[in-house]
């Protein structure tokens, strides 16, 4: 299943990369559903969990502005538009999996994003991705912990 999900993430990355590129050049023929279907079809004999890929692609697409807003303060020296396209998309996928995808352990989301960066990014991409996602996770955990009500010790009644 994990190897299958890894391939699924690669297909999602390819789909989102093409979407990002075609949006930048104002391609009027861009249809994310068509791009996704074409990319899934290339690997249909190997991919078992198509729903995972669809959830990833559609989730990242729907939450792109929110994901970018999460990434911006964590990498302030790198405006989102100046981050290499591949790194930007890997970050979006990683943040989506970390914060919005149920059932994906945080370490898995980060490790998978780092592996995508190693395979498809530049020389320092994996370190950059690891650092940004690690900070996103720590920030999220700090907020989550702060929101939990503090347990007050109960006093036992001694009679």
Percent above pLDDT 70 for the chain = 91
- Note the pLDDT of residue 48: 87
The residue-averaged pLDDT of 66-93 equals 95
pLDDT-based confidence at 39, cuts 50/70/90? very high
Q: What is the pLDDT of residues 127-153, one digit of tens each?
A: 999 999 999 999 999 888 877 666 555
Whether residue 2 has pLDDT greater than 90: no
pLDDT-based confidence at 1, cuts 50/70/90? low
User: What phi-psi label fits residue 103: left (phi over 0), alpha (psi between -120 and 50 degrees) or beta?
Assistant: left
Distances (CA, A) of 123 to 19, 68, 78, 120, 136: 24, 23, 17, 10, 22
For residue 65, with 0-12 CB atoms within 10 Å meaning exposed, 13-18 middle and 19 or more buried, which class applies? exposed
Percent above pLDDT 90 for the chain = 79
The residue-averaged pLDDT of 29-55 equals 94
- Note the pLDDT of residue 159: 46
* Choice between 44 and 111, residue whose per-residue pLDDT is larger: 111
Mean pLDDT across the chain: 91
Whether residue 96 has pLDDT greater than 60: yes
Q: How far apart are CA 114 and CA 71, in angstroms?
A: 16
- Note the pLDDT of residue 122: 95
């Amino acid at each position: 299943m994990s190897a299958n999900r890894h391939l699924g993430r690669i297909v999602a990355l390819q789909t989102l990369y093409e979407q990002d590129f075609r949006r930048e050049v104002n391609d009027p023929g861009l249809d994310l559903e068509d791009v996704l279907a074409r990319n899934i079809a290339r690997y249909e004999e190997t991919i078992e969990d198509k729903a995972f890929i669809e959830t990833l692609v559609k989730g990242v697409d729907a939450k792109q502005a929110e994901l970018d807003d999460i990434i911006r303060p964590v990498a302030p020296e790198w405006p989102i538009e100046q981050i290499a396209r591949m790194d930007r998309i890997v970050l979006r996928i990683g943040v989506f999996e970390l914060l919005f995808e149920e059932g994906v352990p945080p370490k898995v989301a980060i490790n998978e994003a780092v592996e995508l960066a190693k395979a498809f990014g530049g020389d320092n991409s994996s370190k950059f991705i690891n650092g940004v996602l690690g900070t996103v996770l720590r920030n999220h955990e700090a907020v989550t912990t702060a929101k939990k009500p503090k347990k007050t010790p109960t006093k036992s009644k001694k009679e």
